[in-house]
């Protein structure tokens, strides 16, 4: 680890949205979209849900040729798959959520104007960021959004009924915000807890302050309360010493693996341990830190990665690279170090923001060329990448 702080240095679906702080328990105009009517509706059913096969079990192999699912998206950020096989995608600057899939493209209704999620204040890297679907969605219909508000970043729970987000309930507030380093990823772990990736919001010391929500991986119950087995009593902090956590997932053994933006030298892929200190701002990248800090599982030069979303499959970890404009495949070894990373889609799609395992066992990937990129015809897009 480098020590010391440094100076900050084609088949498209038709339709919508063309580009144009405490750690205690809770308490520019764009074109208006149109909504395409779809035959599929993510209507939940009551009672016990039938077991759904985990598509990750079939997600084995190496990436093939990408195929468009949807195009013309404006700064897409988060992606979460619903039980019906469609995906919810957040549009950061438009503060909207769209439901996408083969033959499906809907703008979700909200209590805000023109389908905008209420109380979102996009600026810089902030806006409508991560999205997660409740593990009990078929009975509770809950969807969780990470959103930048006027004074903070926060996690808000919604109920999705008939393609409309209602009953907004903030469950985590007071996450520091700034024009950069907002974190924003959400995901439910195999333990049923909600994990939240945050950034230091350009306040470096906050990453080492367990009492701050900045520069952390947070772990909460679905109502925002603090699990009794969190490593720091009365705190949502699961791990700390992070600069800007961008993606995470879990392997078959339950290991949590997360990506993190470095500053000038190293981007990181980390195994997240409860209570672990990942060193920022004292260290960046590889090194033992005198045993005080958890060393990364894998590192890249920042020009080669700038990692964002992460998808974990039985045989690999996939990392979407923004500046690197490629999809990294890191062979997974549950008993030790990873294998040598391989790059796929190198320059093929431009900047990559998010990767998730799709409902069919392929990879679903979001591009991010309408933000700090060179948009191509049809950008930004959601693509499916088969594993063969």
303 confidence band (pLDDT: 50, 70, 90)? confident
Give the mean pLDDT of 203-228: 98
| pLDDT, position 114 | 87
> Closest Cα to residue 346, out of 374, 371, 365, 321?
321
**What angle (nearest 5°) sits at the alpha carbon of residue 355, between those of residues 354 and 359?**
130
Contacts of 272 (CB under 8 A, 6+ apart): 217, 238, 239, 248, 256, 257, 258
For 217-272, the three-class secondary structure string (H helix, E strand, C coil) is: EEEECCCCCCCCCCCCCCCCEEEECCCEEEEEEECCCCCEEEEECCCCCEEEEEEE
Identify whether 21 is part of a domain: no
pLDDT digits (tens, 9 = 90+) for 247-286: 999 999 999 999 999 888 899 999 999 999 999 999 998 8
pLDDT digits (tens, 9 = 90+) for 338-362: 899 999 999 999 999 999 999 999 9
In Å, what is the CA distance from 134 to each residue of 140, 144, 163, 189, 280?
8, 8, 16, 11, 31
User: Does the structure show a pLDDT above 80 at 103?
Assistant: yes
Number of domains composing the chain: 1
CB neighbours of residue 160 within 10 Å: 25
Residues comprising the chain, all counted: 388
pLDDT digits (tens, 9 = 90+) for 142-173: 999 999 999 999 999 999 999 999 999 999 99
Cα separation, 75 vs 369, whole angstroms: 8
For residue 307, what are the domain limits? Answer: 54-385
| pLDDT, position 7 | 30
55 versus 192: which is more confidently predicted? Answer: 192
Q: In the chain, pLDDT over 70 holds for what percent of residues?
A: 85
Identify whether 20 is part of a domain: no
> Closest Cα to residue 325, out of 277, 283, 379?
379
Cα separation, 352 vs 380, whole angstroms: 10
In Å, what is the CA distance from 143 to each residue of 77, 99, 165, 222, 359?
15, 12, 8, 10, 18
30 confidence band (pLDDT: 50, 70, 90)? very low
Identify whether 223 is part of a domain: yes
Per-residue b/e over 106-138, b at no fewer than 16 CB within 10 Å? bbbbbeeeebbbebbebeebbbbbbbbbbbebb
31 confidence band (pLDDT: 50, 70, 90)? very low
- List the CATH number of the domain containing 177: 2.120.10.30
The dihedral formed by the CA atoms of 18, 164, 218 and 174, expressed in degrees to the nearest 10 = 90
Identify whether 262 is part of a domain: yes
Q: In this structure, are residues 332 and 269 in contact, taking their beta carbons and an 8 Å threshold?
A: no
Largest CA distance in the chain: 59
User: Does the structure show a pLDDT above 90 at 200?
Assistant: yes
Cα separation, 251 vs 314, whole angstroms: 7
3-class secondary-structure state, position 377: coil
Phi, psi angles (nearest 5°) of residue 158: -125, 160
Identify whether 188 is part of a domain: yes
Q: In this structure, are residues 124 and 180 in contact, taking their beta carbons and an 8 Å threshold?
A: yes
Q: In this structure, are residues 380 and 79 in contact, taking their beta carbons and an 8 Å threshold?
A: no
DSSP H or E segment with residue 100: strand 96-101
Identify whether 33 is part of a domain: no
Sheet bearing 237-240, strands edge to edge: 186-188, 194-197, 216-220, 237-240
Identify whether 30 is part of a domain: no
Identify whether 23 is part of a domain: no
**Model confidence, pTM:** 0.87
């Amino acid at each position: 680890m480098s020590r010391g702080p440094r100076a900050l240095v084609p088949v498209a679906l038709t339709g919508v949205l063309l580009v144009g702080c405490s750690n205690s328990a809770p308490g520019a105009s764009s074109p208006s979209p149109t909504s395409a009517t779809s035959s599929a509706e993510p209507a939940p059913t009551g009672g016990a849900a039938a077991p759904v096969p985990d598509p990750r079990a079939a997600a084995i192999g190496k990436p093939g040729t990408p195929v468009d699912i949807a195009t013309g998206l404006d700064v897409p950020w988060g992606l979460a798959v619903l039980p019906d096989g469609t995906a919810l995608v957040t549009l950061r600057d438009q503060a909207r959520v769209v439901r996408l899939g083969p033959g499906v493209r809907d703008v979700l209704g909200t209590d805000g104007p023109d389908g905008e999620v209420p109380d979102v204040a996009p600026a810089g890297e902030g806006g409508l960021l991560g999205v997660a679907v409740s593990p009990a969605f078929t009975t509770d219909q809950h969807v969780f959004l990470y959103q930048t508000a006027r004074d903070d970043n926060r996690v808000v729970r919604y109920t999705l009924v008939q393609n409309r987000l209602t009953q907004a309930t903030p469950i985590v507030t007071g996450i520091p915000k700034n024009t950069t380093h907002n974190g924003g990823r959400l995901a439910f772990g195999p333990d049923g807890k909600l994990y939240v990736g945050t950034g230091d919001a350009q306040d470096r010391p906050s990453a080492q302050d367990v009492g701050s929500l900045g520069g952390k991986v947070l772990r909460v119950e679905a109502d925002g309360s603090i699990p009794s087995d969190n490593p720091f009593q009365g705190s949502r902090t699961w791990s700390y010493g992070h600069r800007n956590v961008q993606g995470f997932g879990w392997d078959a053994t339950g290991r949590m693996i997360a990506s993190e933006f470095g500053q000038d030298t190293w981007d990181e892929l980390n195994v997240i341990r409860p209570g672990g200190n990942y060193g920022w701002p004292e260290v960046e990248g590889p090194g033992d830190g005198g045993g005080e800090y958890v060393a990364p599982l894998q590192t890249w030069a920042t020009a080669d990665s700038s990692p964002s979303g992460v998808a974990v499959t039985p045989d690999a970890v996939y990392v979407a690279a923004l500046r690197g404009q490629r999809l990294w495949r890191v062979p997974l070894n549950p008993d030790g170090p990873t294998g040598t990373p391989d790059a796929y889609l190198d320059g093929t799609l431009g900047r990559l923001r998010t990767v998730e395992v799709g409902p069919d066992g392929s990879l679903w990937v979001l591009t991010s060329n309408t933000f700090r990129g060179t948009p191509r015809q049809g950008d930004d897009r959601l693509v499916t990448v088969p594993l063969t």
